[in-house]
Amino acid sequence: MKKPNYRALLPIGVFLVLYLGLGILFEYILKIPMGFYNIPIVVIFLVALLVACIQNPELKFDDKLAVMARGAGDKNIITMVLIFMVAGIFVGVVGRSSAESVAYFVLSFIPARFAVLVLFVVSAFVSLAMGTSVGTITLIVPIAVAVADSSGFGVPLCVGAVVGGAMFGDNLSFISDTTIAACNGQGCEMKDKFRENFRIALPAAVVTMIIILVRSMGTDVGEAVIGEYHLVQVIPYLVVLLGGIVGINVFIVLLAGIACGAVIMLATGATAATDMLANMGSGVSGMFETSMVAILVSAICALIEEYGGFAALLQLITGIFKGTKGGKLGMGLLVGAMDVATANNTVAIVMANPIAKEMAEKYDISPRKAASILDTFSCIFQGIIPYGAQMLVAVSVTAELGHVVSAFEIIPNLIYPLMLLVSVLVFIFADSNLRNIGNKS
């Protein structure tokens, strides 16, 4: 460890002030739609990197470049970027039409009284298979509005169920960028992190479903929603999902999903052969910003560590949080604070990864538990902040369909993120028997 130097944390402060400040200005003062997501986050990180390079004049610029190259060239960073790209190709090949197929298929035989529960379960499955909560919300919210219009359930309740289910899947998916970032940053297998996370997420999901059922019972229900579905398009997602659970290498799983998806999409006529390569390119392009953020953050963090910034941050955290339980809670609050500041759970995890890894070593927290805590807390905060992409997209899509609903009407109906917070706190502060069970698994 380097000598603690709090001034070395200045680049993080510069990024947070610029990004959060401009986000508030765009979103709430200038009233620009999706204001936070109109800010070029890569440019803001470049400014932060410039600040990091200006600091510590005793170190030559060539030596700083070597430090940055060492950070950006880390095996975990390269692996992360490659997985991002292959996952982008997969999404580009299979498309997103299968999400609607899953929703309409389940709604076709489940009684309308359970429609809100169906929205939660379907959103959870779709997000788990697709690895994107925002994509899931974009696809399922129109169905949720249709359910609200035809069944009599409130729009905020239906949309809240979709957002909650989307965060469940995003937290657990093998091809989610948050999972990729957390696992590679902490150096653990995805299947191990999945099993660790599942013990936290499942109780929260079960309690959420019970609460949704109870709330649904007091509503006069109208007609069910009927739509067209093609279940064969779901097969590539199942290949990826089951392959990940079994523990097959993520690259092999994604390549199998791409091959399977290509055959199915071409055979069913869902995609023309001439369009498939373009779709692959679009999928990879969609991962550009996330990949660049990973590289830039790793370079910034390498300089901050070299200057003693992480030693200072670790000193501060260890002065507040004591013992393994305190370390887990401190790790969770660290990534939560990053998420509140950046409104992006992937960026929050990438930024928190280096210090979280040192915390894990100091507090004797296993890599799979550290990855699980980072992903879970970032999911909780991302799911409830009113300026996060998930909430902004949900509100925007709902408005396009003729229902003006504010984020603050949806937040009280976000049952799952709140239950997940309770579940992870129980997980952290569990008694010795539960800890022993976790260690044996």
Burial class (CB in 10 A: 0-12, 13-18, 19+), 136: buried
Averaged pLDDT for residues 150-162: 86
Condensed to tens digits (0 to 9), the pLDDT of residues 62-97 reads 999 999 998 888 777 787 788 778 877 887 887 666
Is residue 43 within 8 Å of 365, Cβ to Cβ? no
Torsion of CA 212, 217, 220, 222, to 10 degrees: 60
**Model confidence band, residue 223 (pLDDT cutoffs 50, 70, 90):** low
* Nearest residue to 335 via CA among 379, 291, 298, 367: 379
Kindly provide the residue ranges of all beta strands, DSSP E only, lying in 273-387, ordered along the sequence: none
Condensed to tens digits (0 to 9), the pLDDT of residues 305-317 reads 888 887 887 788 7
Of 6-20, 56-70, 243-257, where does the model show the most confidence? 56-70
Is residue 117 within 8 Å of 213, Cβ to Cβ? yes
Burial class (CB in 10 A: 0-12, 13-18, 19+), 236: buried
Residue 210 CA neighbour count, 13 Å, CB half: 7
Maximum distance among all alpha carbons in the chain?
72
Is residue 254 within 8 Å of 86, Cβ to Cβ? yes
* Nearest residue to 373 via CA among 201, 165, 209: 201
Condensed to tens digits (0 to 9), the pLDDT of residues 2-16 reads 788 889 889 888 988
Is residue 403 within 8 Å of 363, Cβ to Cβ? no
- Cα dihedral 99, 102, 108, 109 sign: negative
Average pLDDT, the chain: 82
R_g over Cα of the chain: 22
Cα distance between residue 89 and residue 409, in whole Å: 36
The answer, yes or no, to whether residue 230 has pLDDT greater than 60, is yes
Cα distance between residue 404 and residue 409, in whole Å: 10
Is residue 252 within 8 Å of 198, Cβ to Cβ? no
The answer, yes or no, to whether residue 390 has pLDDT greater than 90, is no
Averaged pLDDT for residues 20-24: 83
The pLDDT of residue 218: 64
Q: Which of 115-124, 183-192, 372-381, 390-399 has the lowest mean pLDDT?
A: 390-399
The answer, yes or no, to whether residue 61 has pLDDT greater than 50, is yes
Q: Which of 176-180, 197-201, 225-229, 308-312 has the lowest mean pLDDT?
A: 225-229
Q: In which residue are the tokens 């339980």 written?
A: 325
Per-state percent for the chain, helix, strand, coil, to nearest 5: 80, 0, 20
* Nearest residue to 262 via CA among 246, 280, 245: 280
CA distances from 343 to 18, 157, 336 (A): 13, 23, 10
The pLDDT of residue 321: 80
Tokens describing residue 120: 């939660």
The pLDDT of residue 141: 84
**Buried b / exposed e along 162-173 (16+ C-beta atoms within 10 A):** bbbbbbbbbbbb
Tokens describing residue 377: 């807390």
What residue type is 325 in one-letter code? K
Q: For 28, which DSSP code?
A: I
The answer, yes or no, to whether residue 304 has pLDDT greater than 90, is no
Condensed to tens digits (0 to 9), the pLDDT of residues 28-37 reads 788 777 666 6
Burial class (CB in 10 A: 0-12, 13-18, 19+), 356: buried
Alpha helix positions (H), 385-414:
389-400, 407-410
Element (H, E) at 225: none
Cα distance between residue 122 and residue 229, in whole Å: 13
Cβ atoms within 10 Å, residue 177: 27
Cβ atoms within 10 Å, residue 228: 9
The answer, yes or no, to whether residue 437 has pLDDT greater than 50, is no
The answer, yes or no, to whether residue 372 has pLDDT greater than 80, is yes
Please name the residues in contact with 93: beta carbons below 8 A apart, sequence gap of 6 or more. 236, 258, 261, 262, 265, 271, 276, 279, 280, 283
**Model confidence band, residue 433 (pLDDT cutoffs 50, 70, 90):** very low
